[in-house]
Amino acid sequence: MKVTIYDIAKEAGVSIATVSKVINRGGRISEKTRNKVIKIMDELNYQPSVVASALTGKQTYTLGLLLPDLANPFFAEIARSIEDRAQEMGFNVVICSTDNSLDKEERYISLLKQKSVDGIIIATGVRNDALLKELVRQKLPVALIARDMPAVAVDIVLVDDFQGGYLATSYLIQNGHKQIAVIAEDTEVMSSKERIRGYRHALEEAGIPFNPELVRISDFSVKSGKIAAGELLQGLKACTAVFACNDLLAIGTIQAAREMKLSIPDDLSVVGFDNTILATIVDPPLTTIAQPIQDMGAQVVNMILRHINGGHTMNQRMVLPPELVIRSSVSRPRK
Amino acid sequence: MKVTIYDIAKEAGVSIATVSKVINRGGRISEKTRNKVIKIMDELNYQPSVVASALTGKQTYTLGLLLPDLANPFFAEIARSIEDRAQEMGFNVVICSTDNSLDKEERYISLLKQKSVDGIIIATGVRNDALLKELVRQKLPVALIARDMPAVAVDIVLVDDFQGGYLATSYLIQNGHKQIAVIAEDTEVMSSKERIRGYRHALEEAGIPFNPELVRISDFSVKSGKIAAGELLQGLKACTAVFACNDLLAIGTIQAAREMKLSIPDDLSVVGFDNTILATIVDPPLTTIAQPIQDMGAQVVNMILRHINGGHTMNQRMVLPPELVIRSSVSRPRK
DNA sequence: CTGAAAGCGCTAACAG
DNA sequence: CTGTTAGCGCTTTCAG
């Protein structure tokens, strides 16, 4: 059988309370007994049961992570960065791909609660703040990453989406483009809204009139990006550049362009968003707006741990700057 | 406070034992009391504590998943497929990226054991079977996915790597290639060995002599694929095709070729392995050997759950067939 | 069919 | 400094 605290206590000739104290480095214990206990512990290869300790009100050292789809490189990278930091802090993370389905979100959250995770990090769209608010009400530590949700009081880490949209668009403008389209994944989502707002701001600043025909909505996948871009390019020969609100969509538009025998960047410039591994792999390499994924991941777990340990600190909102990564998918428009 | 089984019992005017029985659909309970209890349970929004139940010897409904790197698209897709099946079966999965570091593997395994996960799925290289054997000895259910380890008695799901190497190489041969190089990620790993064996078998079958100069080792990343391919192409102008043992390496090869002004597939044909999303995104789209990732994921969790529930069934070894996915990175060699 | 009671492994007062 | 003891929330005999 598994070795328990009783085995250690008996073997060491002390009480379980003593053993518990040396485990938790609490209470006053003589060097002597402490050493003896420690010795026995690793002689017997003892590993305290987190389950038992959790039952007495301690932590489970487990975090839940809700995201739309682990197979999406952006979220895989986010997950990895979170996992890394969590691991450093002695936490594990359980992954929950929701496919943006409210149903799955609910089921996962319910499961996570039953398992008494110490906190939940959310990277999903969470359409209805109701779910979220409920979590907050129940005092379950929650933190959002890469998703805004102004109406709810939780910790948040995200990139400055407005700034990102602005950077992307400005860069295109600097390169001489005037007919610039946007493809966004969904206008419901705050980040899309903000990126588009940044886009419009750049346009405005440059005195370029905003043309609603040039903004397209799709969901997020290469395929739908391709479709959206196809429609766009079909209708408007005039457009010389597109700002795709994520790399997947950017790649879709590259593919659509290629199918229409448009060369990139000569016939069409495109800039993406996220700077996932995909951006380095497409041809041409994608100029894109980088999110500081490593940093964001580390920060959310810092935040949520602070919340878990420290109690109710104020809800933080950390907005990190995006960065333009120039590769080869943008050039000056053809005359 | 959180509502417990006592609250339900009191409210329903029964004992906690009765409540427990209705939760576990065990024991004989009258329809009447059962319904009453159920009603109260969801009136009070009761959710049984997995932690408490686990302490009494029940399951934690949690699986550990060890893999090299979640940010690697292949493993992200594996993880996703495992997560999906696990979720269907009421299990959660905690992700552990080991970076193939023995150290991390050990730490993660230790953590997972402390948390009493019901089983561990391993997709990591696990160099030393010692760790693995220890797990088996401790009767912790273990299953391997996409990793062979003939020396240890555990459940295994993998693709027929030999067949995959054979398919890839044969296809190249059919297309008229004779000077075919291989880039593998590491010859220590069984799957690489097998793929190379398949490669050699195809060569042999076609009466093409095996040239050791044409096999290169690298680790697995686009960058190292690029380096390996660069060296290869530098030295041997003769080679007209390369079989890269995974998509990342294939992409590295494509990039190296491009840098040397070689056109793909005209100057150099390449076929990859895995059929990750990357294969659809590179230019040209990569002809590659597909692993049935969905299926593999579903099968490992089936296996490990059988092990968890059914006790010690025989160790299964499931070898799934790979499939050649033809895209555009292969053509006949230039005359 | 239902309930009382003894744990599961550990923590946290409270005594000594 | 160390031990006793009462739980944590749930499962599981064993009586009734």
- B335 pLDDT band (50/70/90 cuts)? low
Chain B 4-43, CB < 7 Å to strand C: 13-18, 21, 27-30, 32-34
Chain A, chain B: beta-carbon pairs less than 8 Å apart:
133
- Partner residue opposite B83 with nearest CB, options A62, A95, A107: A95
Q: What is the pLDDT of residue B28?
A: 74
Neighbours of A45 (CB within 10 A): 10
At residue B170, the pLDDT reads 97
Tell whether B153 and B200 lie within a shared domain. no
Nearest residue (CA) to C1' of C7 = B56
Distance from C-alpha of B251 to C-alpha of B245, rounded to nearest angstrom: 11
Residue A116 and residue A18 share a domain: no
Chain A nearest C-alpha distance from B177 (Å): 26
pLDDT score of B29:
80
Whether A317 and A306 share a structural domain = yes
- Please check whether residues B155 and B298 belong to one and the same domain: yes
Contact criterion met (CB < 8 Å) for B83 and A70 = yes
Q: What is the pTM of this model?
A: 0.94
What's the order of all strands across the beta sheet hosting B287-290?
Answer: B215-217, B180-184, B241-244, B269-274, B287-290, B323-325
Cβ distance A52 to B50 less than 8 Å, yes or no, reads no
Tokens 């998918």 correspond to: A329
Q: Verify that B197 and B133 share a domain, yes or no.
A: no
Question: Which residues of chain B lie closer than 8 angstroms to A277, CB-CB?
Answer: 71, 73, 222, 278
**pLDDT attached to residue B201:** 97
User: CA–CA separation, A286 vs A250, rounded Å?
Assistant: 8
CATH number, domain with residue B22:
1.10.260.40
- Please report which confidence band the pLDDT of residue A236 belongs to, taking 50, 70 and 90 as the band edges: low
Select from A51, A104, A112 the Cβ nearest to the Cβ of B60: A51
Answer for the pair B309, B288: CB distance below 8 angstroms, yes or no: no
Please name the residue whose C-alpha is nearest to the C1' of nucleotide C1.
B29
Q: Is pLDDT above 70 for A184? A: yes
CA distance, residue B70 to nearest chain A CA (Å): 6
Closest chain B residue by Cα to residue A255:
B281
Q: Decide if pLDDT at A315 tops 80.
A: yes
Residues A97 and A183 grouped into a single domain = no
Read off the pLDDT of residues A126-166 as tens digits, 9 standing for 90 and up. 666 788 888 888 889 999 999 887 777 789 999 999 999 99
Please report the pLDDT score of residue A265 as a whole number. 93
Q: What angle is formed at CA B139 by the lines to CA B138 and CA B142, rounded to 5 degrees?
A: 110
Q: What is the mean pLDDT of chain A?
A: 91
Mean pLDDT of B176-203: 91
A283/B49 Cβ within 8 A: no
**Same domain (yes/no): A39, A81:** no
**Mean pLDDT value across chain B:** 91
The confidence score (pLDDT) of residue A126 equals 63
d(CA B46, CA B248): 48
Tell whether the model's pLDDT for residue B237 goes beyond 80. no
Helix (H, G, I), strand (E, B) or coil at B176: coil
Let me know if residue A78 belongs to a domain.
Answer: yes
Distance from CA of B202 to the nearest CA of A (A): 30
What is the count of structural domains for chain A? 3
Task: Tell me the pLDDT band of A27, cut-offs 50, 70 and 90.
Answer: low
- Asked whether the predicted pLDDT for residue B317 surpasses 80, the reply is yes
Check whether residue A138 and residue A178 sit in a common domain. Answer: no
Name the residue facing B76 among A49, A70, A116 (closest C-beta): A70
Instruction: Select the residue from B249, B281, B291, B329 to test the A interface by mutation, using most A Cβ atoms within 10 A.
Output: B281
With a CB cutoff of 8 Å and minimum separation 6, the contacts of A264 are A254, A257, A258, A270, A284, A329
Q: Is the pLDDT of residue B27 over 90?
A: no
CATH code, domain with A261: 3.40.50.2300
Both A137 and A247 in one domain: the answer is: no
Print the domain residue range for A108.
Answer: 62-160+292-321
Residues B232, B171, single domain; the answer is: yes
A174 pLDDT exceeds 90?
Answer: yes
Residue B214, domain member (yes or no): yes
* Chain B residues whose beta carbon lies within 8 Å of the beta carbon of residue A96: 83, 87, 92
Q: How many whole angstroms separate alpha carbon A324 and alpha carbon A328?
A: 12
Contact between B92 and A110 using a beta-carbon 8 Å cutoff: no
pLDDT score recorded for residue A147? 85
Instruction: Return the pLDDT at A46.
Output: 92
Q: Is residue A202 part of a domain?
A: yes
DSSP characters over B62-122: EEEEEES-TTSHHHHHHHHHHHHHHHHTT-EEEEEE-TT-HHHHHHHHHHHHHTT-SEEEE
Q: What is the pLDDT of residues B29-67, one digit of tens each?
A: 888 888 888 888 988 999 999 999 999 988 999 999 999
Residues A156 and A194 grouped into a single domain: no
Q: Using pLDDT thresholds of 50, 70 and 90, give the confidence band for residue A334.
A: confident
Closest-approach nucleotide to residue A17, Cα vs C1':
D3
Q: Which of A55, A94, A114 sits opposite B47 (nearest CB)?
A: A114
